[in-house]
Chain A
Amino acid sequence: MSTSFDEAALASGDGSSRPVDPSPPLSPNPPDIAQRLEVAWGESPGLKGWFGSVDHKVIGIRYLFTAFLFLVVGGCEALVMRIQLARPDATVLTPEQYNQLFSMHGVTMIFLYALPILSGFSNFLWPLMLGSRDMAFPRLNALSYWLFLAAGIFLYLSFPFGAAPDGGWFAYVPNTASEFSPGLNIDVYCLGLIFLGISTTVGSANFVVTLLRMRAPGMSINRLPIIVWGTLTASVANLFAVPAVSLACLFLWFDRNLGTHFFEVSGGGQPLLWQHLFWIFGHPWVYAIVLPAMGMVSDALPVHCRRPLVGYTLVAMATVATMVVGFGVWLHHMFATGVPTLALSFFSAASFVIAIPSAVSVFAWIATIWTGRARITVPFLFFTSVILLFVIGGVSGVMTASLVLDWQLTDTYFIVAHLHYVLIGINLFAVVGAVYHWFPKMSGRMMDERLGRWVFGLMFIGFNLAFLPMHWLGLAGMPRRVWTYGADMGFSTTNMIVTIGAFLFAFGLLLFFINIWRGARAGRVAGPNPWDGPTLEWAIASPPPVYNFAVIPLVASRHPLWEDRLGDTDERSLFAEGFLLDQGKETLAVTPLDGEPDVILKMPGDSWLPFALSISLMPLFVGLLMHSVALAAIGALAALIILILWFAPHPATVQDEAVRVYG
């Protein structure tokens, strides 16, 4: 059964009012059932519906908006830094201003943009791709978003007071100890990261349990989209990694405020303990912020190549392998600290090894293009550029894996070049491509392809103009984290080129946001499946109904919507018949490995509690920051009461229910 959508019209991007995909969605949505489900799942009216929404799609889009906002703020911080660095001995900024900017640029991009943007996509897409009506814990989902927003506000409220963190995003002690950083700046950092860590942890738990239980019948482990593999791997990793940085921040806050000696050298403290705990978290984290993005490329690029991903099993295993090895390389951030060379050599070896699973994805993508029939759409351009930028970041990474060479490269602009190629190249370029790809599903409208090509050109050229020369700057000896440099160092011309590239790149991003805005207002109507994709999210309307699927589908393969045309199995996924689950706000849970229907779950409706809990943590953290026991106690008490309300049991519990089906 092929779709009848208009390939030619898609290519030309004309503004006709006919939907790109005029067919009705594959998953049936009968009016009487739709009405009943709408009542059960619909948003509450007024403020409660806005503040209390537990709809994963609403939460996902909120994550995207907020993460993009932080991207812009972090980007502006970078642009101001680049103005200062464009010329030698410039005095556009004072050293303190520059140090706050580069520290907050790092914190904003790595914590407030890179993971939340991927959480936003995963939140929106997972239930749709898995054939479910919601995530496992809808209120926890809302909580993870509100906590993220609250922690971001907490961190940024420091700026107007001139107290923004200024010790770098990595905050090495003793520079960040109270003796050398006497203000509140680093306390904001410690408490802010602990605050944010709660959001990351509850979000990760939600993804793990959702994957294990909230799938359509037949959605077995080997049929999951790669973004699910990527986010699942990242979530499991975050559960194990985030406590390390939270503990480090707790230790640092204690050293600064209660006189302990975790890192304070007087009294036996160890500065390197901070670095160990930080990087035991930090290295897995950088994989957590790229693996889901790689998953998005693995899912969406094949759609534009008109074929399934090459090497699905290898790519899925490589995703997990990368993360596992990623826990064993953290000392490569500490190669110059004087740790014995023998120990460091093991970590150097592991850092070479980790290149191999990454190579699997790269060649899988190239193979998918080579053996497919590519449609040069804007998403295709972005996803393909991820391959090249990933490789550049990867080979510079292999250079830094070398212990001896890293003894020259570390703490120079070479590392800045490497990290931006992997983070912007894999995360941001994949994210932008993913927006072009899934915006039709989220909003029901297409983004303009022609403007999209301009966005791609400006971003690609600007990014490479800014960051390719940084490799040379690093090899020429320019150190990192410097607010200025001398005119006789030989860095001047290159820095000017970098600044120009940065502004070009930023202009491209500006056009990207304009593209989104125009698309939302007046883009061409998309229909259910404008790209002719194979996975479940394309079987429902764009935008999806609030309950996602009226009839829960039965999944028979990895590419439910392509089964007829691929012809490699006789089994067919079933959309027209399936579980109905319309006795209130219900969805289905399945067994973890095989996806057999297991239990009916009653889902919570809109609730004030997640928002209230996030608000109540503000006085707790502000109280700790300002040494106000009263304020902190109020916050803690409020949080406790809200938690008791959260877990309060329903009065009567139905033990089982007759199954209702459609068809």
Chain B
Amino acid sequence: MAEARSLEERLPVHGMGMVGTPWWGMLCLFATEGILFAYLIFSYAYLGSQGYQSWPPTGGPPGLKLALPATILLVGSSFVLEWAKNRARAGRLVIARWALALGILMGIGFVGLSLEEWHDKPFALSTDSYSSIYFVLTGTHLAHVAIGLIALLVLLVWSLTGRVGAGHEQHRTLATLYWHFVDVVWLFVFATIYLSPRLA
């Protein structure tokens, strides 16, 4: 006679990392947002290859004075946040929160330096095709950074108010993973805008 019964076996609920579903959803997000940056970089290359003699048209390759420190801050913040995630998983919530706060500050530093660089540029958004793609490429990345910062801030607030504890591994993993993605994308953007004019 068929009946319902419980077994000795237990299966995980929700799952962390690859075992649950949100991790795969995040990968889909990386695929679609990642290719968006590929198309932006394609547009940069296409606009540069048609028409203008030099690319950028004026002023030579963009300076590294602000971009290099910004890059260091962003890459560094990824390491800091990864460490924060590991501390939290091990139950060391207080130190994890401090590290999270530090990572957020480093991210804000990146944003600040980027905005300063924008301010210093001799051209505006509507000057020519180079300025258009420059601001939209870096701006799209900056928008992704901003969303990441909001997510990390919300995570910090949740941690401080006790909504997120040691067991909420998935939230920390996904937020940190998104930040790493934004970091890796920056390396490509950096190579395109700052390195490629110096190699040509």
B11 within 8 A of A: yes
Q: A205-B25, A251-B136, A599-B19 are in contact. Are A280 and B39 (CB under 8 A)?
A: yes
Decide if A213 touches B21 in the complex (CB within 8 Å). yes
Interface size on B, residues (CB 8 A): 54
Residue of chain A at shortest CB distance from B20: A599
CB of A267 closer than 8 Å to a CB of B: yes
Q: Check A647 against B171 for contact (C-beta < 8 Å).
A: yes
> Could you tell me if B4 and A262 are in contact, using CB atoms closer than 8 angstroms?
no
Cα–Cα distance between A254 and B4 once the two chains are bound (Å): 61
Q: Say yes or no: B13 contacts A243, CB within 8 Å.
A: no
With a cutoff of 8 Å between Cβ atoms, the chain A residues found around residue B131 in the complex are: 260-261
CB < 8 Å: which of A137, A204, A576, A653 contacts B167? Answer: A653
| B46: contacting residue among A206, A240, A273, A599, CB under 8 A | A273
Chain B nearest CB, measured from A27 CB (Å): 12
| CB-nearest residue of chain A to B171 | A649
Q: How large is the interface on A (under 10, 10 to 19, 20 to 34, 35 or more residues)?
A: 35 or more
| Dominant secondary structure at the A interface | mixed
Q: Known contacts A260-B136, A277-B43, A601-B14; decide if A209 and B28 are in contact (CB<8 Å).
A: yes
Set of chain B residues within 8 Å of A209, measured between Cβ atoms: 21, 24-25, 28
Give the shortest distance, in Å, between A369 (CB) and chain B (any CB): 37
Contact of A661 with B7 at beta-carbon distance under 8 Å, contacts A251-B43, A251-B136, A260-B132 already known: yes
Q: What's the minimum C-beta distance from A47 to chain B, rounded to whole angstroms?
A: 28
| Chain A residues in 8 Å Cβ range of B10 | 656-659
B147-197: which residues lie under 8 A (CB-CB) from chain A? 150, 154, 158, 163-164, 167-168, 171
Q: Which residues of B contact A259 (CB under 8 A)?
A: 125-126
Contact (Cβ within 8 A) A656 B11: yes
Residues of B within 8 A of A136 (CB): 21, 24-25
Are A247 and B40 touching (Cβ within 8 A)? yes
Choose one: B5, B8, B52; the contact of A268 (CB below 8 Å).
B52
| Distance between Cα atoms of A600 and B9 in the complex (Å) | 12
- When distances are taken between beta carbons in the complex, the residues of chain B under 8 Å from A515 are none
A214 and B52 alpha carbons, distance in the complex (Å): 52
| B132 lies within 8 A of A653 (CB) | no
B7 to A662, Cβ gap below 8 A?
A: no
Instruction: Kindly state the separation between the CA atoms of A649 and B171 in the bound complex, as whole angstroms.
Output: 8
* Cα separation A276 to B46 with both chains bound (whole Å): 10
**Interface check A33, CB cutoff 8 A:** yes
- Across the interface, which residues of B come within 8 angstroms of A658, CB to CB? 6-10
Assuming A269-B129, A582-B4, A660-B4, is B36 touching A246 (CB within 8 A)?
yes
Q: Interface digits, A233-269 against B, CB 8 Å rule (1 contact, 0 not)?
A: 0000001101110110011001100111110000111
Chain A residues lying within 8 Å of B128, measured Cβ to Cβ, are 261, 267-268
Nearest-CB distance from A610 to chain B (Å)?
A: 15
A207 nearest CB neighbor, chain B only: B28
A522 to chain B, nearest CB (A): 36
Residues of chain B contacted by A262 (CB below 8 angstroms)? 43, 47, 129, 132-133, 136
Q: Is A43 on the interface with B (CB-CB < 8 A)? A: no
**Cα of A614 to Cα of B35 in the assembled complex, Å:** 24
**Min CB distance, B158 to chain A, in Å?**
7
Query: A204 CA to B164 CA in the complex, in Å?
Result: 30
CB distance from A199 to the nearest CB of B (A): 13
Alpha-carbon gap, A270 to B8, bound state (A)? 67
Q: Closest CB-CB distance, A173 to chain B, in whole Å?
A: 13
Is A577 interfacial (CB-CB < 8 Å)?
yes
Q: How far is the CA of A122 from the CA of B21 in the complex (A)?
A: 19
Contact check: which of B42, B51, B132 meets A254 at CB < 8 Å? B132
Partner of B13, one of A239, A246, A656: A656
Contact indicator B171/A208 (Cβ below 8 Å): no
Contact between A268 and B129 (Cβ–Cβ < 8 Å)? yes
Task: Compute how far the CA of A661 lies from the CA of B14 in the bound complex, rounded to whole angstroms.
Answer: 19
Across the interface, A28 reaches (CB within 8 A) one of B2, B52, B132, namely B2
Residue of A nearest to B127 (CB): A267
- B12 interfacial contact with A, CB 8 Å: yes
A205's partner among B2, B12, B28, B46 (CB-CB below 8 A) is: B28
Q: Considering the complex, which residues of chain A in the window 639-662 have a beta carbon less than 8 Å from any beta carbon of chain B? A: 640, 644, 647-649, 651-662
Contacts A209-B21, A657-B11 given; indicate if A260 touches B28 (C-beta within 8 A): no
A589 close to chain B: CB less than 8 A: yes
Q: Give B15-57 as 1s and 0s: 1 = Cβ < 8 Å from A's Cβ atoms.
A: 1000111001100110111011001101100110011100001
| A240 to B10 Cα, complex, angstroms | 38
The answer on a CB contact under 8 Å between B11 and A599 is yes
Residues in B with CB closer than 8 Å to A244 are: 35, 39
Q: Which residues of B contact A240 (CB under 8 A)?
A: 31-32, 35
Is there contact, CB below 8 Å, between A649 and B158?
Answer: yes
Minimum distance in angstroms from A622 CB to a CB of chain B: 20
Q: Contact at B136–A268, with CB atoms within 8 Å?
A: no
Contact residues of A between 153 and 179, Cβ < 8 Å to B: none
B144 to nearest A CB, angstroms? 13
Instruction: Select A600's contact among B11, B31, B46, beta carbons within 8 Å.
Output: B11
Known contacts A204-B28, A239-B35, A268-B47, then 5 further A-B pairs from the complex at CB < 8 Å, ordered by chain A residue: A208-B24, A255-B132, A268-B130, A599-B20, A657-B13
State the 5 A-B residue pairs at the shortest beta-carbon distance, nearest first: A259-B126, A268-B129, A205-B28, A260-B132, A243-B36
Can you give 19 contacting A-B residue pairs, CB < 8 Å?
A209-B21, A209-B25, A239-B32, A254-B125, A261-B131, A262-B129, A270-B46, A272-B50, A589-B19, A598-B15, A598-B19, A600-B14, A653-B168, A654-B13, A655-B12, A657-B13, A661-B5, A662-B4, A663-B2
